[in-house]
Amino acid sequence: MHHIDIDLIEMTLDVMKYVIGRVSATEHQIGKPRKSEDLKALVGDTVTPKGVGGEYAFNLWKEHLAKTNVPVDHPRNLAFVPASPTKAAIMFDLITSASSIHGAYWMEGAGGIFCENEAMSWIVSLTGMPEGAFGVFTSGGTAANLSAIVTAREHWRENAEFKGEKGLIITSIGAHSSIKAMAKVADVDIILVDSEEHLTGAMLEETIATLTEHQRKCLFAVVATGGTTNAGIIDDLSSVADVCEAQNLWFHIDAAYGGGALVADSVRHLFKGIERADSITIDPHKWMFSPYDCGAVLYRDMELAKNAHSQQGSYLEIFKDEGAHGFNPTDYQIQLTRRVRGLPLWFSLATHGTDRYKEAVERGLELAQIAGRLIEAHPKLELVREPSLSCVLYRRIGWEPEDYTHWTYENHKKGFALVTPTKWKNGDTFETCSRFCFINPDTTERDIEMILETME
């Protein structure tokens, strides 16, 4: 393994050439999936006793497999929450892999974890959480939400009165699907406030008033959203914080998508109250231009997270002694062995400076406003609601749900754009509409115009 051979050098050069081509291309194909059977027919058996050779396998990747992925950084990929990692972050993602750092304990990963923590300090500063608050990078928002829910639940159960009780949390129907999914994983009941618009303290109080005595006893946390995935709506965090404080409830804010907007002066005021959270989820792989996968969970009191997540094992004790001299990321979330996945973010921040992040996020917000104006000026299009953060929900007058689906597939098939439909709850009915989510600052006004032109 340790001598350098020509094949290895050639493979390294091929890979680097491919990577440089990929990150410097100004226009790449949007790509579309194919059936697994079709791919198998194209590439044949690749995992064999002798292997097929790196060059051959790499060619299969380039010719057949890469094209069936839909890159999230395409400027006309405006579906779900797209992404747009910086070149600096992508390059340092390669270095993260090449460095083989075990990111669980300081003892093994001091330099990498130090860099992660520099990036984390910046994220924490954006929230305005008090001294002592800190966080840790996770595989994504789902793992961050789970880590936070488990921390809150363990803290609640420390009170002998609640030992053995199944906990209950309240959130709204605007919350991300992962809140419901992770409540299931943590075996916690969940009540949804039936509104996709801003969750307020008053709505929360109303819901709490409907609980049975036993339910109220088991209620331990409230999850508000700092930028709903569907519509970019930020709950009224201050009034929700008031209720949580008065009723002694853990206040978690899921800002996986919206958290990046904390850096933008134009919308920062909408997050007022976020500094009062007990825990916050923010995904750098969404609006902080990091490659997949990189989420983050922040806590007001790190000790509570440690009580919930620190793993014990005789083979781990060495890390605790020596590692006590530093920060051990494993202690604050659900994972043991972990990639130092905050490292690419650190390098990108250090390279570009935080002002560039501000500009890039402001551009996403501006694109949503531009799209809003283009939609309003179009005779056949209407906004379903005003753009919020970088999400725009709009309807094509006269279209049925299947028209939206057909339109999405047509544009995708052509390799032109990926814009997907969604549903918006209006009173008691759900309306199917079209949705943009802007992240990539390289998306142009012309891109938006061209997409809207296909809705004639």
Ligand X SMILES: *Cc1c(COP(=O)(O)O)cnc(C)c1O
Q: Give residues in contact with ligand X (CB under 6 A).
A: 81, 140-142, 145, 176, 178, 225, 229, 254, 256-257, 283, 295
Nearest distance from C-beta of residue 361 to ligand X, angstroms:
15
Least distance from C-beta 311 to ligand X, angstroms? 22
Residue closer to ligand X (CB basis): 228 or 411: 228
Label residue 301 exposed, middle or buried (CB < 10 Å: 0-12, 13-18, 19+).
middle
Strand order in the sheet with 381-383: 381-383, 391-396, 429-437, 421-426
Walk across the sheet containing 295-299 and list its strands.
134-138, 295-299, 279-282, 250-254, 219-225, 168-172, 189-193
Closer to ligand X at the Cβ: 141 or 441?
141
Pair 200, 233: CB distance under 8 Å: no
Return the number of the residue (83 or 203) whose C-beta is nearest ligand X: 83
Contact present, 276 and 245 (Cβ < 8 Å): yes
| Rounded-to-integer distance, Cα 452 and Cα 22, Å | 28
Residue facing ligand X at closest CB distance: 141
Q: Least separation, in Å, of the C-beta of 334 and ligand X?
A: 12
Give dist(CA 179, CA 193) in Å, integer. 13
Q: Which is nearer to ligand X, 74 or 176 (CB)?
A: 176
CB of 126 to ligand X, least distance (A): 16
Residue 182 Cβ, how far from ligand X at the closest point, in Å?
Answer: 9
* Least distance to ligand X, CB of residue 152, Å: 16
Smallest gap from residue 230 Cβ to ligand X (A): 9
Q: Which is nearer to ligand X, 225 or 422 (CB)?
A: 225
Q: What is the DSSP letter of 64?
A: I
φ/ψ of 169, rounded to 5, equals -125, 155
Alpha helices in 186-247 (DSSP H): 201-209, 213-218, 237-246
CA dihedral for 96, 287, 259, 202, sign (positive or negative): negative
| Nearest to 410, CA basis, from 438, 384, 434, 377 | 434
- Which CB, 283 or 447, lies closer to ligand X? 283
Rank residues 389 and 452 by Cβ distance to ligand X and give the closer one: 389
